[in-house]
Amino acid sequence: MKKISPAVITFLLIWIIALISFQVIGYGFMPPDDAMRHSAKIISEKEWSQILILRDEIKLDSYPGWHVILGFVHRVTGWDQHSLVIFSVIALFTLFCSIPLFFLKFPGSWLLSVVTISIMVPGWILRLFLGRPYMVTMAALLLILLIYPRLNDKKLQNKNIAILTCIIGISIWMHASWYFFLFLIIPFALARQWRASALLAISSGLGIFIGASLTGHPVLFLKQMLIHLFLVFGSNDVERQLVGELRPMIGDYSVILTILMMLGWRRLRGAGIKKSVDNPIFIFIVLAFVLGLISRRFWLDWGMTAFAVWMAKEFEEFLESKIGLFPMRNFVLTAMLALVLYISITTDAGSRWSLNRPMDYVSENDPEQAKWLPASGGIIYSDDMSVFYQIFYRNPRADWRYILGFESSFMPPEDLKILRNIQRNFGRPEDFEPWVKKMRPKDRLIVRGGPGSEPKIKGLEWHYIALNMWIGKKPKDMKI
């Protein structure tokens, strides 16, 4: 039988990966957070300072590149915010899952790695569908870990620097966590990959400079991201005041078990363990796991990405020794794994996809709801970020602002202090009083609660406006 071109196999696999994301969207899946606000910002045509009440230190957009891309897509297609969210989910998932297909001899090894993770750590698969620009940084890490053996080739030194600089620069322009690439140098140095470490150091410096320069305010951009980092981890009293992904993880025992099983498998087949653990990828996994004990974001975004690459390389080594001379076996195995991958991800087990369907949104276009929404120039106060995500998403051009948006540490210090007090005391009604006193007739306070549990916060007239959402305003603003 005629040999099937690797390019054809790669194309078919990319198509299947995209099809997986379409199937997930077909359940009505909607990311619950940042993908909504990124898309709504494009439709609003506003700066964040026109949308949120911000502290003085926050002056620039942290995701300029991503918003340029979404803006371009919007101008070309005319898509609304819902379509832009769908585009974000499909494009970023397909980008991330397709990259290894171009760098592994056996694409099935990557599919098998993702299938294993989908079974052992299903929560991570959900994270790949959130449509957020952190996936650009994850994709950059994925690419660097896949090509790192080439970095030791002296003949390709200048080419490697150019490639790494482009990868890092684009990542920083889209997702501003520039300090991550400085951290990336450490595991290469610990693995004694001196040339690779030097190239990464040079490329990181150049990439950070280029990525920051693309914002038009390089010094302010880099400074703001450092301030952001210290504000995020320095403005809380207790860990539960942080958003879930920033809290420490207890441990990921399923990953530890999987690694032990993989190493045991190597020993059983006589492959030896040293090669598997004495390399930058495995060292990076260990470092990210330790950092995850401080904040699980390190593990979810970086450690799990490295873990997926490490497993793919382990599987590739085995497949190369078993079917390297039988390309048709490789094709059949890849086709079977693609089918398993499709089934393992697209099944709506536990309603993981259909449960995140669009909620009962609040809209200024609804005459009944509009009577209770803020007047022109008003402010929405709330202790719940999901209020911002849902209302801004549905009302991107509304003429009001939000005291709490996508990052609590961006709030003015006095309002952040009020929020932390509310969080510390689990939403005690009297802790909302400072906001109630600040509120003007055109402002609103929105809190979560069921239809039969009107908030006990005094000084406001309350109305159950949407699913588990109460809105309060000053009584003198009531129209009879």
pLDDT (tens digit per residue) in 63-80? 999 999 999 999 999 999
Question: pLDDT (tens digit, 9 = 90+) per residue, 89-109?
Answer: 999 999 999 999 999 988 999
Q: How confident is the model at residue 478 (pLDDT cuts 50, 70, 90)?
A: very low
DSSP class of residue 301?
I
Averaged pLDDT for residues 30-59: 95
Q: How many CB atoms lie within 10 A of CB 238?
A: 9
pLDDT band at 435 (very low <50, low <70, confident <90, very high): very high
- Measuring CA to CA, how many Å separate 211 from each of 92, 151, 171? 19, 22, 7
Judge whether residue 477 has pLDDT over 70.
Answer: no
pTM: 0.93
Q: Quick one: pLDDT at residue 54?
A: 96
Q: What is the 3-state secondary structure (H, E, C) of 34-74?
A: HHHHHHHHHHHCCCHHHCECCCCCCCCCCCHHHHHHHHHHH
Q: What are 115-131's pLDDT values in tens digits?
A: 999 999 988 999 999 99
pLDDT (average), residues 353-365: 84
Domain ranges of the chain: 1-105+123-132+336-358, 367-477
Asked whether the beta carbons of 94 and 11 are under 8 A apart, the reply is: no
For the stretch 445-456, pLDDT in tens is 999 999 988 999
- CB atoms under 10 Å from CB of 106, counted, come to 22
> What mean pLDDT comes out for the span 367-382?
96
List pLDDT tens digits, range 319-349.
Answer: 888 776 567 778 888 999 999 999 999 999 8
Residue 157's pLDDT is what?
A: 87
Whether the pLDDT of residue 203 is over 50: the answer is yes
Report the pLDDT averaged over residues 385-404. 97
What are the backbone dihedrals phi and psi of residue 432, each rounded to the nearest 5 degrees, phi first? -85, -10
Mean pLDDT across the chain = 92
Residue 278 has pLDDT above 60, yes or no: yes
Res. 441 pLDDT band, cuts 50 70 90 = very high
